[in-house]
Amino acid sequence: MQKKVVVITGASSGIGKALAEKYAAEGFNLVLAARRLERLQELKQKLNNVEVLPVETDVSKEEDCKALIEKAVEKFGKIDILINNAGISMRAAFIDVETDVLRRLMDVNYWGTVYCTKYALPYVLEQKGSIVGVISTGGYIGLPGRTGYSGSKFAIRGFLDTVRIEYLRAGLHVLVVAPGFTASEIRKTALVQDGSQQGETPRNESKMMSAERCASIMYRAIKNRRRKMIVSFWDGKVIVLVAKLWAWLVDQILYAVFKNEPDSPLK
């Protein structure tokens, strides 16, 4: 049988890289997208049991996303799964942050998802396949000091929920998955108020869920065609549930947690 094809954005590190390794282990052919082509090439050398197409892609650029999908179809003739994983974060109080930082968050996180989904949709529909959006608990509740991040993740959820309904009778599977805190580079590359990268994570990465564990959970959710999934428990399912029941309490808890981070932007 012809191997299935998965397109993964943000595949050079973290959850995206772990997803690539998981899907390769399951026998999928891969199209891997990221800005750091050299990392994708290194990953390709390790995944030698399947065909891997690395594509240098800046998802904030519509022409890059269109080219990504065209190259995937040219190489493999189809797309079974699109995983919109590419994303960046931020860490700054709204009063201090430059508006260009918020725009960059939307360009990468939201518009990157929109562009890739737009151009992949006809091919995924042909396979009755899956479109996946990776958000976070910040796509369900507001995270202080991360207005652009939460705003973009809420937007992705609304966008993909609507796509799901539009193609309800076409056999399209749409999953919106929300990992909690997961060990990755996203906090190191988070933008601060002037748009420069934070550089160091303010949180203990060793206590977080591993990217490999998160990828394994996501793989099962996609295989079982789940609609929505909040991956982690305490910083995911529990906090979102409590926010529905006692929103004021979660506001207080989140403020206290993020205010106590080293060098917190919260006053």
Instruction: Catalytic residue, from 140, 149, 167, 255: name it.
Output: 149
Q: What is the value of pTM for the model shown?
A: 0.90
For residues 128-161, one letter each, b for 16 or more C-beta atoms within 10 angstroms of the residue's C-beta and e for the rest, the string is: ebbbbbbbbbbbbbbbbbbbbbbbbbbbbbebbe
Q: Which of 20-34, 113-127, 232-246 has the lowest mean pLDDT?
A: 232-246
Q: How many residues in total does the chain contain?
A: 267
DSSP string, 63-85: HHHHHHHHHHHHHHS--SEEEE-
Q: Which domains does the chain have, with CATH numbers?
A: 5-259 (3.40.50.720)
> Percent of the chain beyond pLDDT 70?
96
- What's the pLDDT tens digit per position in 219-246? 999 999 999 999 977 777 888 888 888 8
Alpha carbons 200 and 197: distance in angstroms, whole number: 9
Question: Is residue 149 among the annotated active site residues?
Answer: yes
Q: Which H or E run includes 112?
A: helix 112-127
The string of pLDDT tens digits covering residues 96-113 is 999 999 999 999 999 999
Confidence bin at 73 (pLDDT 50/70/90): very high
CB-side neighbour CA atoms (13 Å) of 235? 13
Please tell me the predicted confidence (pLDDT) of residue 201: 67
Contacts of 245 (CB under 8 A, 6+ apart): none
